[in-house]
A and B are shown apart, each in its own frame.
Chain A
Amino acid sequence: MIGNVFGWLTTAAHWRGGSGVTAIGTQIQAHVTYSFVAVLIALAIALPLGLFMGHTGRLPFLVSAANTLRALPTVGVLILLTVMIAPDFHGRTDFGYLIPTEIVLVLIAIPPILSNTYAGVQNVDGVVRDAASAMGMTGSQVLLQVELPNSLPLIFSGLRSASLQVIATATIASYLPLGGLGRFIYDGLAQQDFPQMIGGGVLVALLALLTDSVLAFIQRHVVSRGVSGRFSKKAMTARGPAAADIVQAEVAAV
């Protein structure tokens, strides 16, 4: 079976598409587009909100509310919204399915981004925040110049988590006749074409891994090294409780 799957994945015709099987390239593009748009919208909503909440300490109940959203079964909500909305939107066309799907995807992406952003800002060391306002920074300067850069690790972890969940759910959205990599899973199932079904699964897995790697790469380059702790060995000074070392370094420095 594995060989068959491999064969299915590497058949050039499958990448171009035709005879009952849609093109792999098209579906990848569709999947990436749906996911990207949803995450972007969720970021636009949850990031500023989370920053505001973390900075002012207000509306903490929103975080618990967002987390209870996770208890909702994604498939159920997807189908519910589709059934509710689709008939009003061009009936059961691709676009009709797209709106409820995007809504669900955005709803899925918001909780991780919101709660992680809130936690990130809240966890900035109180001493640092105090020093920042004592030096004469305005509230928004403290938020943007100090709290935000120091919350980036948690914000990124929320972003990565949200992206993965969106990619996973977008796969399910293909249950409704919608494009995306899930198309191969469901069509493969319907046609009993197991190489296609499994091939679709492999493609989804690869997309997820690739996305996470890209985000991890961006994270490594955006987050300040002072925050993430990535120092080259050479640059490390003597650290630790050895008083002698410290004294020596201090004395040498005088």
Chain B
Amino acid sequence: MIRFDSVTKTYPDGTVAVDDLSLTAPSGKITVLVGPSGCGKTTSLRMINRMIEPTSGRIWIDDRDHSTTSPTELRRGIGYVIQHAGLFPHRTIVDNVATVPLLLGQNKREARAKALELLERVGLPASFAKRYPAQLSGGQQQRVGVARALAADPPVMLMDEPFSAVDPVVREQLQNEFLRLQSELSKTIVFVTHDIDEAIKLGDQVAVMRVGGKLAQLATPADLLSNPVDDFVAGFVGRDRGYRALGFEPVPGLQLDPETTVLMGSDVSAAAAVARDGWVLVVDENGWPQGWLAVGDDATRASLQITPPLLHRGGTVAAVNGTFRAVLDAALSSPTGRGVIVDEARRFAGTITAANVVRLLEQQQVVHQQTVPVQAVPVQGAGATPR
């Protein structure tokens, strides 16, 4: 775990980059520092591995004052991932990843073998090992950057806007990959970003900082969305807070409505027989929903077989153990108003209407208001608000 203890950083010309910051990043969790430019988030991150030295205050890493270890030794035990990866252009990918183990004195063969393993872990094929960074795309370079940070198996990882420099499609993939990795590795991670959506998606706890280096609020993402502590945080978190907060609410038992389904490949006429409001749900042989079929009065189509091009594919599908947001979205996006819900094995389980979802939600809110008090002050030191 990493603990900031009244840490301040001022520069000789008088600028205060970080102002009396105290917070704890718990072990095995992702703590996100987020805020506008000039809020000191990157400065705070770089004080952890002593790339910048605090003017006052102390930083503890697993109950050890980090100023007692030499900077180089400290850094060899901390993984560091930055925007644009910072890969060494003159070394091959595998040698880039093996950098820290080699610095620590491991022998070359072992270090390289470990590096190849890590490349696979971050989703890069072994053929990339002998290539050079200039031959890789931005997203691929970022993956190598993550692998490099993991190479010496450090307990702590620092990440400074690692996914900001790639395009949105790649960014989402990298974020999902990252969450998967973290679920396997459980590292203590401090992550800096300026993107509140990324913070909410990735963080176990989020620290919102304001310009001037002060901590505005430290909370779980759900808490941040539902209880911003002041106007600045509310404004920073943005609009649609209520709706986005639904992304964190797991649904309690869903009451699903049954729906007759039709197998892909059967005749349109067979579908027409069981259609409700002129629509029927089509599934494949595994029971996985494929889309809605509109059965009109058009006799020419009656003898056709059902194939994917005939289907309306606009509706999303939600899992029965998903969040309120996913379930609501399934209902709203379905052409029939009936949201398609699947079970853990992705088989069709039933439908639910938007009205029913909202009713469930309201019942849930009543339950919450009765049991959990609203927390309005930022929590110092001890961690995030539990829910």
Contacts and interface: CB of A to CB of B under 8 A. Distances in A.
Given A127-B82, A226-B91, A247 B134 contact: no
Given A132-B88, A246-B167, A250-B123, 11 more contacts: A134-B75, A135-B99, A150-B88, A231-B134, A237-B128, A237-B135, A237-B137, A246-B170, A253-B123, A253-B140, A254-B123
A73 B50 CA distance: 51
Q: A interface, how many residues as a size bin?
A: 35 or more
Contact of B136 (A128, A134, A237): A237
Interface in B123-139: 123-125, 128, 131-139
Interface stretch (A57-65, A86-94, A136-144): A136-144
Contacts of B76: 135-136
Contacts of A239: 135, 137
B260 interface: no
A131 B87 contact: yes
Contacts of B134: 226, 229, 231
A237 B125 CA distance: 12
B75 A136 contact: yes
A235 B130 CA distance: 9
Contacts of A131: 80, 82, 85-88
B169 interface: yes
B92 A226 contact: yes
A249 interface: yes
Interface string B40-75: 000000000101000000000000000000011111
Contacts of A229: 134
A146 interface: yes
10 contacts: A131-B85, A132-B86, A135-B103, A136-B77, A237-B135, A243-B169, A246-B140, A246-B167, A246-B170, A250-B123
B177 interface: yes
B186 interface: no
A138 B92 contact: no
Contacts of A132: 86, 88
B89 interface: yes
Contacts of B85: 127, 131
Contact of B100 (A136, A227, A246, A250): A136
The dominant DSSP class at the A interface is helix
Contacts of B239: none
B346 interface: no
B103 A250 contact: no
B369 to A, nearest CB: 42
B95 to A, nearest CB: 10
A246 B76 CA distance: 32
A10 interface: no
A191 interface: no
A1 B128 CA distance: 60
A253 B86 contact: no
Contacts, number: 115
A138 B72 CA distance: 6
B90 interface: yes
A137 to B, nearest CB: 7
Given A134-B80, A135-B100, A247-B169, A231 B123 contact: no
Nearest to A247: B169
B173 interface: yes
A130 B86 contact: yes
A224 B100 contact: no
Contacts of A130: 51, 82, 86
Nearest to B133: A226
Contacts of A225: 132
Contact of A231 (B100, B103, B135, B167): B135
Nearest to A152: B90
The list of the 8 closest CB pairs from A to B, nearest first, reads A131-B86, A226-B132, A136-B76, A136-B75, A224-B90, A149-B90, A134-B80, A127-B86
Interface in A115-173: 125, 127-128, 130-138, 141, 146, 149-150
A236 B140 CA distance: 13
Interface in A64-93: none
B84 interface: yes
Contacts of B133: 226
Nearest to B138: A246
Interface string B120-161: 000111001001111111111000000010000000000000
A215 to B, nearest CB: 19
Given A128-B89, A133-B51, A246 B135 contact: no
A163 B136 CA distance: 36
A250 B123 CA distance: 8
A238 interface: yes
Nearest to B176: A254
Contacts of B83: 127
A12 to B, nearest CB: 48
Contacts of A226: 88-92, 132-134
B77 to A, nearest CB: 8
A236 B89 contact: no
Nearest to B166: A246
A133 B75 contact: yes
A156 to B, nearest CB: 14
Contact of B131 (A146, A235, A243, A251): A235
Most B-side CB within 10 Å, residue of A146, A224, A250:
A250
Contact of A128 (B88, B139, B140): B88
